[in-house]
Structure formats: structure tokens, C-alpha cells
């Protein structure tokens, strides 16, 4: 019997697996693809968003901001390259500039440091910016990372610490038992105390 079964070996599943590997738990990760990070995590933009965009007071806003702040330490611990290059959201006319102000106000509520920069400063920061840009919303905490390298590093660290990973094994049914859960896959079934669904 497992203590925890994690469904999905993308960035969330791998991160959870790494965190749980710090404890004396019998944990299994089930991934339907033939490698980690082969779904949504492998198809993302590689941007670590600052968190100004999600609606304030939502879980997405809360976790976006907290997650962003964790990346410096995670990248250092795992030896994964991570750069805080910042981001600039452009306004190409005055109507869009008003939307930048709405985003700035949202950023304040989400505790994200941003500022609106005018055309002149925008050109100094990013000389190749389109001449149509009238302003930009600068978010310094935005970063970039290689999602493939990150997921592999997270999962390798989890495995080194005792986590078990099964690839090419799709979860097809979860049943609540009197104590715990029965997880049926394309290959077999398992019993576990807890199930964490991190599937994309």
C-alpha cells in the first residue's frame, strides 16, 4: 500500500513528488506518457509569470505569486538555469494603455511589483520595440526557464530520494475505499492512503 499516489509527471506532479521525497513516505508517481513533462508542461511558453494578471483573491493569483518567488531557490538547488529577465506588456494605443492601468491595479492587489513606462523609457529598455507602442507594463519578477530541464531535474531529485515513477501507465479509475483509495491503471491497480491529481 502506498502513502501517496501522484497522477501526472509534469512540473506540478514532479514538484510535489520532490517535496514529498523529503519525508518518509511510500510515494508513487503515475504518468501516462513515455517521459516526464510530455504533456502541458512541455508545451508551455517557458515563462515564469510574475502574477499580475490573475484575478485578485483567487487561488491562481495566490499560487502564481508564491510560485514565482520560489524559483530562485529551486533553480539553484537543482542546478537549472533560470533568468529573471522581466516582461513588458505593450499598449499600442490609448485604449490599450487604459487596460495597462487596470492590470497595474490588479498587480497592486496581487502584491506584484510593476510599473507603467512611457514610450521614451520603453525605447531605452527595449530598443527594438515596435514604433506603434505608446506605453508598457514592466514586471521585473517575470522569468524564463527551460521546462523540459526543470521537470527532469525535479523528478530525478525525487527519484534519488526514494520516489517511484511509472511511465506509460494511464490512470483509468479511482475508487474510494473504507480506508484510502484504489487506483486502477492501464496495467494494474494500487491501493493508497492519498491521491494527488496533477494530471494536465
Q: Is 148 a catalytic residue?
A: no
Query: Where do we find the cell 527519484?
Result: 159
CA distances from 81 to 1, 150, 200 (A): 37, 9, 24
Cell of 148: 523540459
Report the alpha-carbon distance of residue 51 to residue 113 in Å, rounded.
Answer: 9
**Could you tell me how far CA 22 lies from the centroid of its own chain?**
20
Query: Where do we find the cell 491562481?
Result: 60
Contact 41, 199 (CB under 8 A): no
What is the phi/psi pair of residue 188, to 5°?
A: -165, -160
Which is catalytic among the residues 49, 97, 104, 106? 49
What amino acid positions are annotated as catalytic residues?
49
Amino acid at each position: 500500500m502506498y502513502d501517496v499516489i501522484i497522477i501526472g509527471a509534469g512540473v506540478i506532479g514532479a514538484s510535489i513528488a520532490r517535496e514529498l521525497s523529503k519525508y518518509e513516505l511510500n510515494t508513487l508517481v503515475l504518468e501516462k506518457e513515455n517521459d516526464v513533462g510530455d504533456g502541458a508542461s512541455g508545451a508551455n511558453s517557458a515563462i515564469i509569470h510574475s502574477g499580475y494578471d490573475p484575478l485578485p483573491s483567487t487561488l491562481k493569483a495566490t499560487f502564481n505569486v508564491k510560485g514565482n518567488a520560489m524559483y530562485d531557490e529551486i533553480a539553484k538547488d537543482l542546478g537549472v538555469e533560470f533568468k529573471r529577465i522581466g516582461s513588458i506588456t505593450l499598449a499600442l494605443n490609448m485604449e490599450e494603455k487604459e487596460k495597462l492601468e487596470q492590470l497595474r491595479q490588479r498587480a497592486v492587489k496581487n502584491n506584484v511589483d510593476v510599473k507603467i513606462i512611457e514610450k521614451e523609457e520603453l525605447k531605452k529598455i527595449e530598443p527594438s520595440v515596435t514604433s506603434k507602442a505608446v506605453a508598457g507594463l514592466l514586471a521585473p519578477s517575470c522569468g524564463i526557464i527551460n521546462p523540459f530541464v526543470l521537470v527532469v531535474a525535479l523528478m530525478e531529485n525525487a527519484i534519488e530520494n526514494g520516489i517511484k515513477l511509472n511511465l506509460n501507465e494511464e490512470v483509468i479509475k479511482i475508487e474510494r475505499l473504507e480506508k484510502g483509495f484504489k487506483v486502477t491503471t492501464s496495467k494494474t491497480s494500487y491501493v493508497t492512503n492519498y491521491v494527488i491529481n496533477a494530471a494536465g
